[in-house]
Amino acid sequence: MERFVTEAVIIQLHPLPGKYTELAVLVKKMVEAARGFPECQQAETLLAPDRDEISVFQRWTCAEAFSEYLIWRSRQEDLTLAFALSSKEPDFRSFTLHDPG
């Protein structure tokens, strides 16, 4: 029996002081765009304003699909703006999810 494998990605952003809301609004728009990208299974914005934390969770059909998305995203103006509103580079983690079935 073939097992279903997906790629999960967690990205944590670090807003500049006073830029939390502006970055959160931008990230929500970026996540919405990711949802419409081919082979994106899930994309969510995770907000913790009391801790000044913004994270993104995404699931993709495979690592190659996520790689294609990253190439596309790197060419979008909103990514440059997200970096400008951040105090440092995002923390980026990817995982392979295996269906135990």
Residue 59 lies in a domain: yes
Residue 26 lies in a domain: yes
Residue 101 lies in a domain: no
Residue 5 banded pLDDT, cuts 50, 70, 90: confident
Place of tokens 């951040």: 86
Residue 91 lies in a domain: yes
Residue 39 lies in a domain: yes
CATH code of 66's domain = 3.30.70.100
- Residue range of the domain that includes 82: 5-96
Number of domains in the chain: 1
pLDDT tens sequence across 39-90 = 999 999 999 999 999 999 999 999 899 999 999 999 999 999 999 999 999 9
Residue 14 lies in a domain: yes
CA dist., res. 96 & res. 86, Å (int) = 27
